[in-house]
Amino acid sequence: MLASPPPSAKAFVPFVSVENMMRLVHRIGIETVLVELTDEIEADFRRWQVFDKTPRVASHSSDGVIELMPTSDGEVYGFKYVNGHPKNMAHGLQTVTAFGLLAEVSTGYPVLLTEMTLLTALRTAATSAMAARHLARDGVKTMAMIGNGAQAEFQALAMKAVLGIQNIRLYDIDPLATEKARRNLSSAGLNVISCKTAQEAIEGAGIITTCTADKQYATILTDNMVGAGVHINAIGGDCPGKTELHRDILLRADTFVEYPPQTRIEGEIQQMPDDYPVTELWKVVTGQVTGRHEAAQITLFDSVGFAIEDFSALRYIKRKLEGTDLYQDLDIIADPDDPRDLFGMFQRAQ
């Protein structure tokens, strides 16, 4: 069991390596994990107001960004360290890497340290599925996936598991990325179609997900490409100067966001004036406002990722680890028998 140590106990911290994270997800089943994570995140959106909220603490450079994403519900504190370096791919490195931590508010002692590169991909896909569950038209069976990099398969599987999507239409400027995604999804029970253009990919799609990596203002979708009734998950624009949609799309769409102070800096709406109207997604989840109110409505989830989603994922993993051997105990907290005698503990180590 991953019981939290009392202040007087030896404070080993459970650590989940990349290998153990993969084993855990395989043991549970990836589609089950995606469904359960979707529900976990939605449950925390329903209690949105209890959380500390702040835009992520970002250190930007010409190469990318390094960020800390903290939050707390008053009982548990969590943060994620994450980077975004689009140029990494050219050097055989991940564009995004991450790790995360949970701690008890009552003692300040960490109770979980884990990789979060894989977990971020899972929680991002689950968040997309949660948004689409509230904003997309009922009965949608086809999704277009524009940008077929590291996130693509997770997004496709989440939409299949949570919404019943049957058809995935893939497009990427790099045909090798599309072939990679098609190959990885070949046994997933989906009808996977590789497309030569973004226009071809969105034909017949009720959900369009954009997830590209270039750190620049880009136009992945133009206004004339987006028809009535479509739901868009825009998840690639996640830092200043990086967008994917033509601003005219935003003029036609009803836009939903996680946390406006962060999204106005990093999301698609950075293109728009400060008074551009947005709706916080948690208000839709709790029923305070209506998300989709007519079939012809264009809905846009301008997703940049928020700390509460990581918090949900960390708590989910902590719970799923209980009774398993899929973690290591790390001795990273100095915890002398007498809390006043740190030096004595140091001396005894000679």
pLDDT (tens digit per residue) in 196-209: 999 999 999 999 99
Query: Would you state the pLDDT for residue 179?
Result: 98
Pair 219, 294 in one domain: yes
Q: What percent of the chain has pLDDT over 90?
A: 79
Pair 155, 248 in one domain: yes
Lowest mean pLDDT among 130-144, 228-242, 246-260: 228-242
Query: Would you state the pLDDT for residue 341?
Result: 94
Query: Would you state the pLDDT for residue 238?
Result: 64
Pair 151, 274 in one domain: yes
* 343 inside domain: no
Last residue of one domain, picked from the residues 266, 284, 305? 305
Pair 203, 278 in one domain: yes
Query: Would you state the pLDDT for residue 220?
Result: 82
Q: Any alpha helices (H) in 196-276, and if so which ranges?
A: 198-201, 247-252, 260-266
> Where residue 220 sits, what CATH number does that domain have?
3.40.50.720
**What is the tens place of the pLDDT at every residue in 151-204?**
999 999 999 999 999 999 999 999 999 999 999 999 999 999 999 999 999 999
Matching residue, tokens 């994403």:
69
* 148 inside domain: yes
**What is the tens place of the pLDDT at every residue in 320-338?**
999 999 999 999 998 888 9
Are 155 and 183 a contacting pair, CB within 8 Å? Answer: no
Query: Would you state the pLDDT for residue 5?
Result: 47
Query: Would you state the pLDDT for residue 241?
Result: 74
Pair 102, 201 in one domain: no
* 44 inside domain: yes
Pair 207, 238 in one domain: yes
CA atoms within 13 A on the CB side of 30: 18
What's the pLDDT band for 7 if we cut at 50, 70, 90? Answer: very low
**What is the tens place of the pLDDT at every residue in 255-309?**
999 999 999 988 899 999 999 999 999 999 999 999 999 999 999 999 999 999 9
Across the strands, what pairs with 234?
Answer: 210, 302
CA–CA dist 337, 319 (Å, integer): 29
Cα dist. 344→8, 166, 265, 334 in Å?
16, 63, 49, 12
Cα dist. 107→71, 75, 234 in Å?
16, 10, 39
State the residue range of the domain holding 260. Answer: 136-305
Residue 214 has pLDDT above 80, yes or no: no
Pair 34, 67 in one domain: yes
CA–CA dist 179, 172 (Å, integer): 9
| Active site residues per annotation | 238
Residue 8 has pLDDT above 50, yes or no: no
Query: Would you state the pLDDT for residue 312?
Result: 98
Pair 197, 107 in one domain: no
> Where residue 330 sits, what CATH number does that domain have?
3.30.1780.10
DSSP state of 117: H
Pair 110, 182 in one domain: no
Query: Would you state the pLDDT for residue 9?
Result: 46
Query: Would you state the pLDDT for residue 1?
Result: 47
**What is the tens place of the pLDDT at every residue in 90-117?**
899 988 899 999 999 999 999 999 999 9
Q: DSSP assignment of 259-328, as one string?
A: -HHHHHHHSGGGGS-TT---EEHHHHHTTSS-S--STT--EEEE----HHHHHHHHHHHHHHHTT----E
Residue 71 has pLDDT above 50, yes or no: yes
Q: How many domains does the chain have?
A: 2
Q: Which two tokens stand for residue 236?
A: 């690639």
Query: Would you state the pLDDT for residue 266?
Result: 86
CA–CA dist 46, 338 (Å, integer): 42
Q: Which of 21, 230, 235 is nearest to 125 (CA)?
A: 235
Pair 82, 175 in one domain: no
